[in-house]
Amino acid sequence: MNRNQVRPQRRHATPSRIERVRRQAVPKPRVIIALLLLLGLVSVMLLDGYLRAEVGNDQRVRSDASASKVPDSVLDGGPFLSFQGGTARTRSVPDKTIVLTFDDGPDPEWTQKVLDILDDNDVPGTFFLVGSMISRYPDVVRRMVDDGNEVGVHTFTHVDLSYQSAARVTREIAQTQLALAGAAGITTTLFRAPYSSTNDAIDNYSWPVYKKLGAMGYTSVFIDTDSEDWQQPGVSKIIKWATPKSGKGASVLFHDAGGNRAQTLEALPQYIKKMKSKGYTFTTVSGAQQQAQGQQAQGQQAQEQQTQAPQVTPGTAGSTQQSNPEQAAHRTADTATLWEGRALLGAVAVAEWTVPGLAAVLAVVGVAVLGRFAMMLVLARRHYRQRNRRRFSWGPSVTEPVSVIVPAYNEKECIANTLNSLAASTHPIEIVVVDDGSTDGTAEIAESLGLPNVRVIRQPNAGKPAALNNGVRHARYDIVVMMDGDTVFEPDTVQRLVQPFGDPEVGAVAGNAKVGNRTTMIGAWQHIEYVMGFNLDRRMYDLLRCMPTIPGAIGAFRRDAVLGVGGMSEDTLAEDTDITIALHRAGWRVVYAEHARAWTEAPASLGQLWRQRYRWSYGTMQALWKHRKSVTDRGPSGRFGRVGMPLVVLFQIVTPVFAPLIDVFTVYAMIFVDFKASLLAWLAVLLVQLVCAGYAFRLDRERYRYLLMLPLQQIAYRQLMYLVLIHSCVTAATGGRLRWQKLKRTGEVGTPAPGTGAR
């Protein structure tokens, strides 16, 4: 809801009245729907942020921890670590054998090119995949497996597991397995910890993790040689560092993601050709383990042959071990895991499409909002200079008496202050109090004051539009001023308000409503909102000749103009917006008199504020929908449809609906992208708003001290207004109806002293 929309408070209607107009209370499920929509978007963004955890730094949390609890056989052993019966066992890569391992993928660009190189050279690789990357690029994983390569777990977010809780370790592994199942229908028994490198990297912090994973059936894979391609040292150094010494076998580390891998792509085919020329063969981790196990079995058989009769030939034993499917690292995912994995990939796909799309939309919204701020400042400045020219005049001075209509329903706390302020008016007026079936003695209080030119008209409770129409019918003068029973005028308010009627084209005039009870935090927030709305938005709309609303707290009309459009309509909950648009369409000009001030009592609690703004925003939507055909009106009567309607829809409905997401994206960027840059961007936007608010306060001659509440208003109050608007949109979309409501008043806004002004 835009902050310049200051509207009157609705009066209660009798049950029969409510039934007749078919306005029902909003069902609570609609509130739940609105909150669920926001929660869903937040969840999608959190998932997207979780998936985009940083990969590729290749740094451990610590590098100097003790390894006193790690067996020497492990620290000095081969790169393949497994546990059998709780006992750690390592295996080495057979001589003249290379196991190409790749970390940090899959990547849609680099991994695909690595796979092309492997295919061209007819060698397999073992890829240790990051679960978040699998979730984002499942097609790459599918190709990887179909091409005969092997895959292993490299955690879900590339975190150093050595210093994580047991629950986090389990979650990182399980989520990666789900992603694998969803992408390729498999799980794996291979694992490589981020930042693990060689066996001697195991320390007292990481050893329990390896033991835990070993008990779960995982083989932890380390390396013998490191190409250190992540440092981008140059192609020759990558090849040199990846080459094992003295014909030994090696588990070699490359990277297929996590940064620019152009040097890796250039070095890899040269490295493969070099090693093949030296008589090396290439295999996967499982293939190397099978070879090592076969060689071990052959050695054991040779020893047994020396002591006893042979049981089986070495060739048979080796063949049996290599053909045993239990030695393969891949497992077919069970049905439950398969569908859970597909669900994960589906959620990720939604996030992958939704977040960038929303980011693009919000970028447009952000530019539009900043553009609006700029336009308001420029036009407000122009409006101020135009109205303060010495030669500016609306036409002949308006001196004839006017009728002031005061609809009142149970206003015993405020009615005396309201009428006493009118009695001090410097312009000749008659006061028509229309008592709308009050039960608290409002009419009696008005009569007991004994003020001159006050008439009290009683009617059965029928609602505010009916009360205003009744007042217009009883008005004696051609100009009628409408106000609320909880509002007070300054002595010169009426005089300043009616001067624009010196121009015969003017059919209605909006005044400047101000918050009287601004001593509380809620009151101060609304005070800032009102000052900005009335001194920026309304000045802009005035110059553009598309004023959307004459506020119910202070507005003046030509009596004939009101009657000509059928009076105050009961079709919407925003009769003030409704009649304003109707007057535009009838060809009348609607203007703003910034010096005609009214002091109103704003809601004093969050509950009352929610009900008021909920009704306002919903009523605005009703009025816009009712007058949707104004966009096709021609001539002056169609100006609101061509200019005002798009502005109101864009800046009072569309951008506020998306505005909460801007805040959510700011938090998202602070957590997952760049905290400092995101904070500076938020502060920059706040500075723009502060400049706009400061200029609005200057135009209205307000005290700047209230602007100290602006940051907190942006954090707390603005979010409430966003939720109100979203709630209203859900209600409108689902066809809900609202009933009139009466807010509790205290009467604390008294009659302003002459010359008080904005101070």
DSSP-based three-state secondary structure for 595:
strand
- Whether 603 and 519 have beta carbons less than 8 Å apart is answered as no
- Whether 131 and 172 have beta carbons less than 8 Å apart is answered as yes
Dihedral (C-alpha) 28, 34, 36, 38: value to the nearest 10 degrees?
A: -150
What single letter denotes the amino acid at residue 350?
V
- Whether 652 and 2 have beta carbons less than 8 Å apart is answered as yes
CA 506 to chain centre: 42
d(CA 247, CA 255): 23
Q: What are phi and psi of 297, to 5 degrees?
A: -65, -40
- The two tokens of residue 509 are 């005039």
Other CB atoms within a 10 A radius of the CB of residue 387 amount to 15
Instruction: Find the catalytic residue in 255, 383, 427, 527.
Output: 255
b/e sequence 425-440, b meaning 16+ C-beta within 10 Å: bebebbbbbbbbbbee
d(CA 465, CA 387): 33
d(CA 721, CA 243): 64
103 catalytic per annotation: yes
- Whether 179 and 341 have beta carbons less than 8 Å apart is answered as yes
For 333-349, give the secondary structure using H, E and C. CCHHHHHHHHHHHHHHH
b/e sequence 678-687, b meaning 16+ C-beta within 10 Å: beeebeebee
- The two tokens of residue 513 are 């409503």
DSSP-based three-state secondary structure for 254:
strand
Which residues make Cβ contacts (< 8 Å) with residue 638, sequence separation at least 6?
585, 630, 631, 632
Q: Give 602's Cβ-side CA count (13 Å radius).
A: 25
Q: What are phi and psi of 623, to 5 degrees?
A: -65, -40
Instruction: Find the catalytic residue in 48, 103, 229, 435.
Output: 103
- What long-range pairs does 353-357 form, CB within 8 A, spacing at least 24? 354/41, 354/44, 354/48, 355/44, 355/45, 355/48
- Whether 408 and 415 have beta carbons less than 8 Å apart is answered as yes
595 catalytic per annotation: no
d(CA 730, CA 37): 10
DSSP-based three-state secondary structure for 353:
helix
CA distance to 234, 460, 487, 553, 659, per residue, from 445 (Å): 92, 18, 16, 21, 46
The residues assigned a catalytic role are 103, 255
